[in-house]
Amino acid sequence: MRVDLHVHTNASDGQYTPSEVVALARAFDLIAITDHDTTDGVAEARAAAAHHGAPLILPGIEISTAEDRGDVHMLGYFVRVDDAGFQDALRGFREARFRRGQMMVEKLARLGVHLEWARVEQIAAGAVGRPHIARAMCEAGYVESVREAFNRYIGNDGPAYVARKRLTPEESVDLIHRAGGVAVFAHPALAAGWRDLLKGLVAAGLDGVEVNHPSNDERTRLELRALAAQHSLIMTGGSDFHGPAVKPGNGLGCMAPPEGAVYALRERARRYGDPDV
């Protein structure tokens, strides 16, 4: 089985359209489309996969949440993309992203970095994220790379950073469950204070943890495996593919989930509804 459970498209801040991603993943058995705060890439990915005959598309989401210590990303698998309440919540997140993106572009202008908002919107094509602004900055010649844009301007401590109101990680677990999905703590090692956070999330009903991710080093993976066993969490994995222009280190399929992950996720999804895949 060739599987990638963490893949972005241009429905959020990935470089490629869902069809392009599927074309790149033709040799895979299954990929999960996990865009930030949107499931809009899923339908096109499914249509493209039907055309190629592969891979199987698992509907997913990556919700950006916040708590006192910083950003926390929550993956959802087997979410019902046609759930009206879920889509209302996602639409609210995207509207907040749009306004916050405009505020960052205004801040950048005051720092001498002049971007056309229309161009940022065009690059975004869907849910607006900082990587889109970073790409507009590269294009206009203000920085050499997305990384430099984050380091100098729009990283969490950068002078043009703007926060936005977000769910807490615990609330996102609940939102995912109500949409029939299975909640998985994404790339835990990137979250400040993740060990404490994980305990709280387990109490809130967390289902799984992303053990295999380019940001988890070998020690972290070992520790996560032990914690997963201790708390009966499903272990997953994926590349966090965004395309080389956005995240050059995260090649499609560079991280696979442990054996049996997809089956375990699907079994768990039955707790929250009737998985339609």
The CB-of-36 to Zn ion minimum distance in angstroms stands at: 5
Amino acid symbol at 229: A
Q: What is the DSSP letter of 232?
A: T
Q: Which region, judged by CB under 6 A, interacts with ligand AMP, from 76-84, 87-95, 128-136, 252-260?
A: 128-136
The residues that touch Zn ion, with contacts defined as CB under 5 A, are 13
Report the alpha-carbon distance of residue 238 to residue 255 in Å, rounded: 5
Q: Are 170 and 220 in contact (CB under 8 A)?
A: no
Report the alpha-carbon distance of residue 233 to residue 209 in Å, rounded: 6
Name the closest residue to Zn ion (Cβ).
13
The CB-of-101 to ligand AMP minimum distance in angstroms stands at: 8
**163-192 residues near ligand AMP, rule: CB under 6 A:** none
CA dihedral 23, 26, 32, 37 (to 10 degrees): 0
Site residue total, ligand AMP (CB under 6 A) = 10
**14-43 residues near ligand AMP, rule: CB under 6 A:** 36
Buried-exposed string 204-236: b where 16+ CB fall within 10 A, e elsewhere: bebbbbbbbbbebeeebbebbbebbeeeebbbb
For residue 32, what is the enclosing H or E element?
Answer: strand 30-33
**61-100 residues near ligand AMP, rule: CB under 6 A:** 64
Name the binder of 146 from Zn ion, ligand AMP, Fe ion, none, CB < 5-8 A by kind.
ligand AMP
- Residue 131 binding ligand AMP, by CB under 6 A: yes
Name the closest residue to Fe ion (Cβ).
73
Tokens at 160, concatenated: 């043009």
The CB-of-37 to Zn ion minimum distance in angstroms stands at: 10
The CB-of-196 to Zn ion minimum distance in angstroms stands at: 25
Report the alpha-carbon distance of residue 24 to residue 156 in Å, rounded: 32
End-to-end CA distance of the chain, in Å?
Answer: 17
Report, in this order, helix, strand and coil percent for the chain, each rounded to 5. Answer: 45, 15, 40
Q: Which of 6, 46, 80, 130 forms a contact with ligand AMP (CB under 6 A)? A: 130
- Which residue number, 94 or 225, has a Cβ lying nearer to ligand AMP? 94
The CB-of-238 to Zn ion minimum distance in angstroms stands at: 12
Q: Are 58 and 31 in contact (CB under 8 A)?
A: yes
The CB-of-263 to ligand AMP minimum distance in angstroms stands at: 28
| 177 CA to centre of own chain | 17
**97-126 residues near ligand AMP, rule: CB under 6 A:** none
- Residue 210 binding ligand AMP, by CB under 6 A: no
Name the binder of 64 from ligand AMP, Zn ion, Fe ion, none, CB < 5-8 A by kind.
ligand AMP
Q: Which of 129, 180, 214, 243 forms a contact with ligand AMP (CB under 6 A)? A: 129
The residues that touch Fe ion, with contacts defined as CB under 5 A, are 62, 73, 186, 240
Q: Are 40 and 17 in contact (CB under 8 A)?
A: no
Q: Tell me the residue length of the chain.
A: 277
- Residue 150 binding ligand AMP, by CB under 6 A: yes
Residue ranges binding ligand AMP (CB under 6 A): 13, 36, 64, 129-131, 146-147, 150, 155
